[in-house]
Amino acid sequence: MPTSASASDSSVAVSATLRQSDLLPRLASSDGVVQVKALRELKNRIIGNRTKKLSFIKLGLVPAVADILASKADAGDGRYSDLLIQSAAVVGSFACGFDAGVQAVLDAGVFPSLVRLLSHLDEKVVDAGARSLRMIYQSKLAPKYDFLQQKNMEFLLSLLNSENENVTGLGASIIMHSCETVAEQKALCQAGVLKKLISLLKGSLSQRDASLESLATIIKNNVEAVSEFVGSDSGRALRSVIELTKDRYPRTRLLASVCLIVIRNTCPCYLQDIGIKTKLVYLLLELHDDPGQVGDEASFAFSTLIAGSEDLQKLAFEANAIDKLYNHLQKGALHPKRVEGILLAMAELCSKLDSCRFKFISLKALDLVINGLTQDSAGVRAAACICLKSVSRSIKSLCAGDFMNEMIVIPLVQLLDDSCTSVQLSKSMDSDLRLNALWALRNLMFLADSASKESIFGELEASSLASLVSDSEPLVQEQALALVRNLVDGCVNCIEFVFAENGIILDAVGRHLQSIPKVEIGIQGMYLLCNVASGNEFHKEAVMHQLVPQAENGTQSFMIKFLQSSDSQLRTAAVWTIINLTFPSVPGAFGRLVKLRNTGIISQVKSMVNDPCLEVKLRIRTALAQFMTSDDGSI
């Protein structure tokens, strides 16, 4: 059986090339009958068959079909109906299910022709046009409508008011795709779209689903729109959505619960009763049983339901969510999207409650997550990192050494250098991965023993840590600094890590702190230096080297800026560092004090004696007391 990728791909390409050769001239024929026949043949070949779609796109068949549509779209009489129906169907199929197809269709300029079909007299032509446009609107590439423009709003309303189910469905798809800002949400509500969508809740199956989905889009994060919806028909609209969570169709149940989650997350004052919360938790867990798309999407909806809410996470825990998700994950041979969703849901569950984390660890779910770290799908790898990051927040487990094994650390470290796969990854995805891998490692290194630190450092190497510190993404920089901060926390031996390869890490940190894109980076960097400054004489001097500009070229030390920062955490970190540097009764303390005075740092510290932040104030006093001890009267 030749099922290997190369064998079948090439054979498909060859035979398709051989057989399509006559399609192009037939599509361009002046005889309508010949054209219709060619179109039908093309349609039947590509439907359901992505491989063929791609080869026909490459062979340039889309523009040929686009020409037919463009030339006949305005013919109002029935003469060309069949031609238009078949062309629209072909175009719709090319656009179905993958972006390359949508791009080819849009590039061929088909979009305006399809829109013109919507006002055709023949209902079947309208159907075909609306279906194809809906296919296009499944993709992110579809053109956006600006609803703030009157003519676009009128167009949308005409779609929603249509008797034709495919056309109202198209209207809903356009809303889902185009409505992004609060201003657009407002405009839609004012134009009566919300009311129209509510009335479609009573429509056919497909209208109901489309209506639920676009309702969620219009009211999301918009308090006013949510209130309007909840209040409409004296609460009947809300009640019918609640009722739809019991519908016999899983997709409808899912969409209805997503709608309720949006309401709850936007206005926490609604849907507060424990009954409905519990119901949503159980419903979404149960929807995971659906083998198709609904099951894949259920875990994402579940995550948004419990995100950031400790009481919902508790409810979910009591509903055995961890066991249930774990059982799904264990099945294997799952769609990557589903694995990603379940891992993210687990991450959310373990983000706050130790009870969830313990359950997670007791199920040995960690093995599945570790497995996820090395999957082909970048989304799965990122989700596994996030999950690990979340679970590893349990200080008890960290202390128990539950996480410290090479099975976790090595794949995490490899993810940091995910360059072999980055060809397929978008840049943002790439940095997302690095970010979450770092974050997980950072948590793992919190209070870790020195043997673990040695092993992770051996894997990471100083140079790659240094380059992560100088990463292009500020969030990555922050986590890299935090990781190093945890690495050098504790014993003197660990501090040596930043001096590996001629102090490449410390130099990177120092360079980086000269100009920080955000204050969190300053905080992590400063605590890192603070930890180093707690070491021996050599360590302290190295920190001084970073703080005090070597060439006295008049540049101000970043320490002054940090001490003057409006962020009290950054001020605290800076003062702590000075305390460590000027700790008395070690030989070099006085020399450092002098240097710090020369750069103006000491007078800055002295001026902060009444800092508004209590913590800073206390540290400043400690520092001042140390200065007094070392002082020979010259400071």
Partner 1 sequence: MLLFWIVIRQLAEIEAMATSKKVITREEWEKKLNDVKIRKEDMNKLVMNFLVTEGYVEAAEKFRMESGTEPDIDLATITDRMAVKKAVQCGNVEDAIEKVNDLNPEILDTNPQLFFHLQQQRLIELIRNGKVEEALEFAQEELAPRGEENQSFLEELERTVALLAFEDVSNCPVGELLDIQQRLKTASEVNAAILTSQSHEKDPKLPSLLKMLIWAQNQLDEKAAYPRINDLSKAMLEDPAV
How is residue 1 written in tokens?
Answer: 């059986």
What does the per-residue mask of binding to partner 1 show for 231-250, with x meaning CB under 8 A? -----------------x--
**For 42, which DSSP code?**
H
207 binds partner 1 (CB under 8 A): yes
**Which residue of 61, 64, 135, 573 would you call a contact of partner 1, by CB under 8 A?**
135
**Which residue of 50, 144, 239, 511 would you call a contact of partner 1, by CB under 8 A?**
50
Rounded to whole angstroms, the Cα distance separating 149 from 633 reads 74
**Which residue of 1, 420, 423, 451 would you call a contact of partner 1, by CB under 8 A?**
1
- Which one, 151 or 248, has the nearer CB to partner 1? 248
**Which residue of 64, 89, 369, 608 would you call a contact of partner 1, by CB under 8 A?**
89
Choices 42-50, 214-222, 318-326, 515-523 (CB under 8 A): range interacting with partner 1: 42-50
Rounded to whole angstroms, the Cα distance separating 514 from 166 reads 59
165 binds partner 1 (CB under 8 A): yes
Count of other CB atoms within 10 angstroms of residue 410: 16
18 binds partner 1 (CB under 8 A): no
CA pseudo-torsion sign 302, 323, 250, 282: negative
**Nearest Cα residue to 508 out of 362, 73, 500:** 500
**Which residue of 23, 27, 38, 43 would you call a contact of partner 1, by CB under 8 A?**
43
- Contacts of 141-146 with C-beta under 8 Å, sequence gap 24+, read 141/99, 141/102, 141/103, 141/106, 142/102, 142/106, 142/177, 143/106, 143/111, 144/177, 144/178, 144/180, 145/174, 145/178, 146/178, 146/184
Gyration radius (Cα) of the chain, Å: 31
- Which one, 160 or 487, has the nearer CB to partner 1? 160
- Which one, 15 or 424, has the nearer CB to partner 1? 15
2 binds partner 1 (CB under 8 A): yes
- Minimum CB distance to partner 1, residue 431 (Å): 29
How is residue 348 written in tokens?
Answer: 């959310």
- Contacts of 71-78 with C-beta under 8 Å, sequence gap 24+, read 73/113, 73/114, 73/116, 73/117, 73/120, 74/116, 76/120, 76/121, 77/121, 78/121, 78/122
DSSP assignments along 506-547, one per residue: HHHHHHHHTS-SSHHHHHHHHHHHHHHHTS-HHHHHHHHHHH
- Give, as ranges, the residues between 454 and 493 that touch partner 1 (CB under 8 A): none
99 binds partner 1 (CB under 8 A): no
CA angle 224, 228, 233 (to 5 degrees): 175
* Residues whose CB is less than 8 angstroms from the CB of residue 440 and which lie 6 or more positions away in sequence, other chains included: 385, 386, 388, 389, 392, 412
- The rounded Cα 271 to chain-centroid distance in angstroms is 27
253 binds partner 1 (CB under 8 A): no
- Minimum CB distance to partner 1, residue 15 (Å): 6
- Which one, 50 or 236, has the nearer CB to partner 1? 50
- Minimum CB distance to partner 1, residue 38 (Å): 14
The answer to whether 321 and 281 are in contact (CB under 8 A) is: yes
The helix (run of H) or strand (run of E) holding residue 194 is: helix 193-200
- Which one, 40 or 606, has the nearer CB to partner 1? 40
406 binds partner 1 (CB under 8 A): no
- Minimum CB distance to partner 1, residue 50 (Å): 7
- The rounded Cα 357 to chain-centroid distance in angstroms is 22
48 binds partner 1 (CB under 8 A): yes
- Minimum CB distance to partner 1, residue 420 (Å): 22
One-letter amino acid of 345: A
420 binds partner 1 (CB under 8 A): no
**Which residue of 68, 92, 280, 547 would you call a contact of partner 1, by CB under 8 A?**
92
Q: How many residues bind partner 1 (CB under 8 A)?
A: 31
**For 363, which DSSP code?**
T
336 binds partner 1 (CB under 8 A): no
230 binds partner 1 (CB under 8 A): no
204 binds partner 1 (CB under 8 A): yes
**Which residue of 28, 121, 205, 447 would you call a contact of partner 1, by CB under 8 A?**
205
- Give, as ranges, the residues between 359 and 398 that touch partner 1 (CB under 8 A): none
Choices 87-95, 360-368, 491-499, 535-543 (CB under 8 A): range interacting with partner 1: 87-95
51 binds partner 1 (CB under 8 A): yes
517 binds partner 1 (CB under 8 A): no
12 binds partner 1 (CB under 8 A): yes
How is residue 262 written in tokens?
Answer: 């949006």
DSSP assignments along 225-265, one per residue: HHHHHHHGGGGHHHHHHHHHTT-SSHHHHHHHHHHHHHHHH
119 binds partner 1 (CB under 8 A): no
Contacting positions for partner 1 (CB under 8 A) = 1-3, 5, 8-9, 11-12, 15, 40, 43-44, 47-51, 89, 92-93, 96-97, 131, 135, 165, 204-207, 248, 333
